[in-house]
Structure 1
Amino acid sequence: MGALSALEEALENRWAAVWARVLDKEPVELLDALRTECDSNAVVCAAGRVLVPNAYDVALADEVHDELTRRGGRVGQAITDSLARHAERHGYEWAGPLAVHIARSDDLPNGRYSVTSRVMPHVSAAGFPHAG
């Protein structure tokens, strides 16, 4: 195992511990769900070129969302970073800039979540009106 892989594994284990405290269960389940969503929607476009969705929505039960909100953006960034490392390890290309959106859902029981993905087209700066 290379030094970079060992460092990545150590960082993933650290964030797993944070998630375990936040979610009061193994965080690997949610991270695995994101990775599975990414893998399941991978499209081979050409030899050696595999595209994956770039927008991921994670819906969390109220209590879990509240706990994450109290902790600030660090956990959301950790999730995004973990997904980015997963794609890099598999040689995936994003369909555009990677975005992971975490939202509250009244429809989920405590401790549960849902994960969906889609291709969100890149919006260029030309699409916004200029400040006058």
Structure 2
Amino acid sequence: MSTLTGLERALERFGQRMLGRIRDKEPVELVEALRRECDEHVVVCSESRIVVPNAYDVELAEFAHEELERNGDDRIDQILTDTLARHGERKGYEWAGPLAVHVTKSRDVPNGRYRVASRVMHNVRADAFPRSASA
């Protein structure tokens, strides 16, 4: 039985539809890419303390970002943040600071899909994320 919430499943279905339209490539789920970014940057401080980055940048291809805007989903940053927070809880991760996921549109994403990057930011604010030059 899956541990995903209904909202996470809906977001993943959206990601599959979004990426399924891009050429004949195998769709890659955005939520899984975000989780993978988190998992790949763990720092094991002790047996009981695993620290991960707390600031995540998600750059979406222009068409995907525009589709989100058309669907009126202006909460995508918060939805992804909540999804990643639940992932971190399940894994026993400690965030390096307040957790935030910031979504922007970009012309320069690999294969016309998306790019996910993470870093440690001690005091995360929405305006602390750099503006995409192509947005």
Determine if the TM-score, normalized by the shorter chain, exceeds 0.5: yes
CA 1:115/1:24 → structure 2, altered by over 3 Å: closer, same or farther? Answer: closer
Aligned position for 2:12: 16
Aligned position for 2:133: none
Matches within 5 A, 1:33-44: 33-44=33-44
Asked if 1:50 is matched to 2:50, the reply is yes
Deviation at residue 81 of structure 1 after TM alignment: 1.3
Within 2, Cα distance between the matches of 1:67 and 1:114?
17
- Report SS of the residue matched to 1:122: coil
2:19–2:113 Cα contact (<8 Å) kept: no
RMSD: 2.4
Within 1, Cα distance between the matches of 2:68 and 2:105?
10
Within 2, Cα distance between the matches of 1:47 and 1:103?
36
Deviation at residue 20 of structure 1 after TM alignment: 4.1
Aligned position for 2:62: 62
Aligned position for 1:94: 95
Aligned position for 1:119: 120
Deviation at residue 27 of structure 1 after TM alignment: 7.6
CA 1:43/1:24 → structure 2, altered by over 3 Å: closer, same or farther? Answer: closer
Supply the AA of the counterpart residue of 1:17: R
More helix by share: 1
Aligned position for 2:79: 78
Q: How many residues align?
A: 118
- Give the percent of matched residue pairs that are identical in Structure 1 and Structure 2: 57
Identify unmatched segments of 5+ residues in structure 2.
Answer: 21-25, 125-135
Deviation at residue 28 of structure 1 after TM alignment: 6.1
Instruction: Tell me the TM-score normalized by structure 2.
Output: 0.73
2:49–2:93 Cα contact (<8 Å) kept: yes
Aligned position for 1:129: none
